[in-house]
Amino acid sequence: MWDLGLSVFLALSGVSVVDSPRDCRDQPGLMGGYITGTNLIELCHANVHRADQDLERVLRHEMVHAIQENFDLRESLIPEPLLTWLVRWTMDDREVMTVLLYDEHETDQEFEARLLANLPNWVVGSLLWISEHRHRAVHAGLQLPQPWEVLPVEAILWRNQYALARR
């Protein structure tokens, strides 16, 4: 299971997570995916575990793809040559080669998602919530509920992720 904070940001943003759909069984190399236009993230627990990857990092990666869509981005927000420099100095050659096999119009956003997935949960979660507010306001004129309308204020004082289940 992932961090309670990520769950809160996903709930506040209206993004749902599906655990291990059929795509995961059919594609053993698939760690997860953001389904464009649906506010749905698929996570492949077994594949992530088998590949010895971090599930929260995969979730943050898919959240970055949702952020990119919410801001209507068609290319990376990280400008060149900074993107290339970050990729060269922070990613191993095998991962870089994997991304370079993507469609040429998707590589920069994929590199960006892999880089930004290393940010803390609260940063990626906050960006998701902000981007979802922006997306709904621009495209549908709809507002998301405020955090205190979804999560009780006293939840700030709860000591651990299991407090919700005990109350």
pLDDT digits (tens, 9 = 90+) for 156-165: 555 554 444 4
Interval 57-66 mean pLDDT: 97
Residue 4 confidence (pLDDT):
82
Strands (E), 15-68: 16-19, 32-35, 40-43
Give the mean model confidence (pLDDT) for residues 109-125. 96
Contacts of residue 126, defined as CB under 8 A and 6 or more positions apart, other chains included, come to: 9
Average pLDDT over residues 112-117: 97
**Whole-number CA gyration radius for the chain:** 17
Mean pLDDT of 28-40: 93
- Does position 151 have pLDDT exceeding 90, yes or no? no
Q: What is the pLDDT of residue 133?
A: 87
More confident residue, 157 or 115: 115
